[in-house]
Amino acid sequence: MLVTSLNAVALQDILIYSGPGAGKLSIENTLHTIKQLVGDRYNVITVGPEVITKQDWFKNTALLIMPGGADRPYLAKLRGQGNANIREYVSNGGKYLGICAGAYYSADRIAFAVGDSDLEVTGERELKFFPGLVSGPTYSGYDHRDTSNYAGTRAAKLTWQLDAPFANNSNLIVFYNGGGSFIDADKFSNVIILARYNPEQQDAVNSPAAIIECKVGKGIAVLSGPHFEWNPHTLDTKSEYLAKIKPQLEANEQARLQLAKHLLDRLAIEHG
């Protein structure tokens, strides 16, 4: 059982993966938002591959989160036993939240920056919570080789696909940085599309899935290409790109938190 203190023995754990590949700022923003919403209802803990590759975390874990970062280091550390454990945990009733890289990682296969010899990442993945292809980046400009280059960031406009907690076809604006699209998500019986990307060009007709829910055995995986967990107040305005989008994101902060609460609801996680 993973606990932070003797006084917290009765609480379940929310695990946030922090091993190689997990982005420092992604971990920080995930921790902040999750703790802000769940308060003292759970132990919110960061864990590395040495935890995931064992099985003693299954029983007391309410939710496993794979945050943004880089997908290939996840695979390098969790290939085989680690991924088999995650798959078993979710299939037996567990809950999984994958954000950006954590969403790519959850697909049957990924195609990232195809045609760019320096950035391209393609191949099959082991979790296969989404039984199709995750392709990205959805919006141009992303370059992971330079962490100070924010040309790929957006105040991404999404269109909500359900009737609650927002009106159907209403717009949401959340932070985006390199996330993928769930290709042909509406063709899979175990998938519910929660939100779609709005195309950046007015004459474009493609509105791929941006946030989805996947039924996996007895469990659930919620996968998001955009960074709904990102607190816009933390964006570094020294970057002209971040300075430009920060006001839009801050103006939509309440809707972002409402979205985060709804996703936790879908994962049966209690919050304030």
Q: What is the pLDDT of residue 5?
A: 47
Q: What pLDDT does residue 10 have?
A: 79
User: Can you list the positions of beta strands (E) in the chain?
Assistant: 13-17, 43-47, 61-66, 95-99, 107-112, 121-124, 130-136, 153-160, 171-177, 181-182, 191-197, 209-216, 219-224
CA-based R_g, the chain, Å: 17
* pLDDT bracket for residue 8 (50, 70, 90): very low
Kindly list the structural domains of the chain, giving each domain's residue range(s) and its CATH number in brackets, ordered by start. 6-266 (3.40.50.880)
Contact call for residues 168 and 195 (beta carbons, < 8 A): no
How does pLDDT run across 15-69, given as a tens digit for each residue?
Answer: 999 999 999 999 999 999 999 999 999 999 999 999 999 999 999 999 999 999 9
Band of pLDDT at residue 143, cut at 50, 70 and 90: confident
| Mean pLDDT, the chain, integer | 93
Answer for the pair 82, 50: CB distance below 8 angstroms, yes or no: no
Give the pLDDT confidence score for residue 117 in this predicted structure.
80
Non-local CB neighbours of 44 within 8 Å, separated by 6+ positions? 13, 14, 16, 31, 34, 35, 38
Indicate whether 135 pLDDT > 80: yes
> How many angstroms separate the CA atoms of 234 and 49, rounded?
28
Which is more confidently placed, 200 or 140? 140
Quote the CA–CA distance of 226 and 181 in Å, as a whole number: 9
Residue 112 · residue 72 · CB < 8 Å: no
Name the most confidently modeled range: 111-115, 122-126, 140-144: 122-126
Distances (CA, A) of 149 to 49, 153, 246: 29, 9, 16
106 Rama sector, left if φ>0, alpha if ψ -120 to 50, beta otherwise:
alpha
Percent of the chain with pLDDT over 90: 86
Give the model's pLDDT for residue 203. Answer: 47
Query: Does the structure show a pLDDT above 50 at 159?
Result: yes
Residue 165: cis peptide before it, omega within 30 degrees of 0: yes
pTM here? 0.94
Q: Cβ contacts of residue 52 below 8 Å, gap of 6+?
A: 17, 19, 78, 82, 85, 86
Q: pLDDT at position 2, please?
A: 53
- The pLDDT value given to residue 148: 72
